Amino acid sequence: MTWVWIYVAASAVTTALTFVASRRLGDRSQPPLVMDAVFVSVLAGALWPLLLLGVVELSSVAAYSTAENWLVKPDPDDHLSEVVVTLR
């Protein structure tokens, strides 16, 4: 029974945070669609374990790419590594 209460509490917190984030980060030039935001927030609250797995997976990919950059030694004959592309 304790697991049910933990799931419900985490669901409520996720729903509230998703709703607040959608209202704060949403496009202000469009009229607010509150029912759509509520629906997506409730859906995110029900599926919060999947959101948690996604965050863990994203952080592990970021850690892997950072570690890979630290471990790779640059090849002096590789001239492609000298090209820098800025993202804007």
pLDDT, tens digit, for every residue of 50-88?
888 988 999 998 888 877 766 666 666 666 655 555 565
End-to-end C-alpha distance for the chain, whole angstroms: 50
The pLDDT mean for the chain works out to 81
Q: Please give the residue that has the higher pLDDT: either 21 or 65.
A: 21
The Cα 45–Cα 51 span in angstroms is: 9
The answer to whether 45 and 12 have CB atoms below 8 angstroms apart is yes
Q: How many CB atoms lie within 10 A of CB 41?
A: 20
Statement: residue 13 has pLDDT above 90: yes
The answer to whether 14 and 28 have CB atoms below 8 angstroms apart is no
What does the chain come to in residues? Answer: 88
Would you state the torsion angle of the CA atoms of residues 17, 22, 24, 27, taken in this order, to the nearest 10 degrees? 170
